[in-house]
Amino acid sequence: MSAAGKGTLSSTGNRAELLALLKQELGKNGSLSKTVLTSLADKTGLPLNEIYGVSTFYAYLPVAAAGKNIIRVCGCLPCDLKDAQGVIGSIKKELGIEPGQTTADARFSLEQVGCIGACDQAPAMMINDTVYGNLTPAKIAEILKSFK
């Protein structure tokens, strides 16, 4: 709390905590809407544009409504060399969506991201917080069916 008791910290303290606050709001709300970001700006005293900039920098912080299960396909060089586009093609075949889209039943959203830190398992994807590596079309179909 600030000395005035309003519940805001110094802007330096808030910057250090911003990522944790964004993740906390994401857990509560499922996405970081303009309302959520505005509320964080009020709570922290940080400018809205700064909060928006941080939230859009990280691929795992969706600022739009997303499906219940978020699929992130790694597009880094090792995954790309081992057919990341084939992974997207398999997901498209199974779910009928492209990167940036959500299934009609809102069960899945698909994103292509820079790196998920699983280069040793290329090609790889994450569904929510779980990494799946050494993917093949058959393995992808099996993984997706386990979420239905």
DSSP symbol at 146: T
Position 1 scores a pLDDT of 37
Cα dihedral value 44, 28, 131, 125, nearest 10: -90
Residue 144 φ then ψ, to 5°: -65, -40
Q: What is the pTM of this model?
A: 0.62
Quote the CA–CA distance of 52 and 79 in Å, as a whole number.
Answer: 29
Quote the CA–CA distance of 143 and 91 in Å, as a whole number.
Answer: 10
Closest CA to 91 of 107, 117, 110: 110
Quote the CA–CA distance of 100 and 111 in Å, as a whole number.
Answer: 5
Residue 108 φ then ψ, to 5°: -135, 140
Quote the CA–CA distance of 73 and 88 in Å, as a whole number.
Answer: 7
pLDDT tens column, 85-137: 999 999 999 999 998 888 989 899 998 888 899 999 999 999 998 999 999 99
Domains of the chain: 11-57 (1.10.10), 69-145 (3.40.30.10)
Kindly report which listed range (22-26, 58-62, 83-87, 143-147) carries the lowest average pLDDT score. Answer: 58-62
Q: Which residue has the higher pLDDT, 127 or 2?
A: 127
Position 78 scores a pLDDT of 92
Q: Report the share of the chain in percent with pLDDT over 90.
A: 36
- The label of the residue with tokens 């303009």 reads 34
Tell me what the pLDDT averaged over the chain comes to: 84
Q: Which residue has the higher pLDDT, 75 or 146?
A: 146
pLDDT category at 3 given cuts 50, 70, 90 is very low
Q: Contact, 126 vs 116, CB < 8 A?
A: yes
